[in-house]
Amino acid sequence: MANTTAVYARIDTKLKDNAEGILAKLGISPASAIQMLYSQIVLRNGIPFDLSLPAAKPTAIGGMTHAELDAELRKGLESHADGRVYSVDEVDKMLAQEFGA
């Protein structure tokens, strides 16, 4: 028998149940999934997936409070009053640069 040791971790119950449901559909035991993760950590000499914050996304109007929407509209009015106006193509280009769209 291989030399083995136990790994103990406390995780959210719902997360555990959801993950184990997916693993069961794949025919993989939780112990095998942990073994795979550890094997990849050793093989890659680090975490085997990207650890980064998601890219910034523009806020949808529906996700703004009334005060936030008012502030954004005021910024637009101030820009217009200052002569800072942009074509649709210019706005599309700026959004693509800022948000990778």
Residue 29 vs residues 24, 32, 59, 98: alpha-carbon distances, Å: 7, 5, 40, 42
Over the stretch 60-90, which tens digit does the pLDDT of each residue have? 888 888 998 999 899 989 998 999 888 899 8
The confidence score (pLDDT) of residue 101 equals 59
Average pLDDT value for residue range 19-38: 96
Residues 1-20 pLDDT 10s: 579 999 999 999 999 999 99
Q: Three-state DSSP class for 83?
A: coil
pTM above 0.75, yes or no: no
- How far is 13 from 56, CA to CA, in rounded Å? 30
Tokens 């942990």 -> residue: 34
Residue ranges of the domains in the chain?
Answer: 1-52, 61-99
Alpha-carbon span 27 to 82, nearest angstrom: 63
pLDDT value for 13: 95
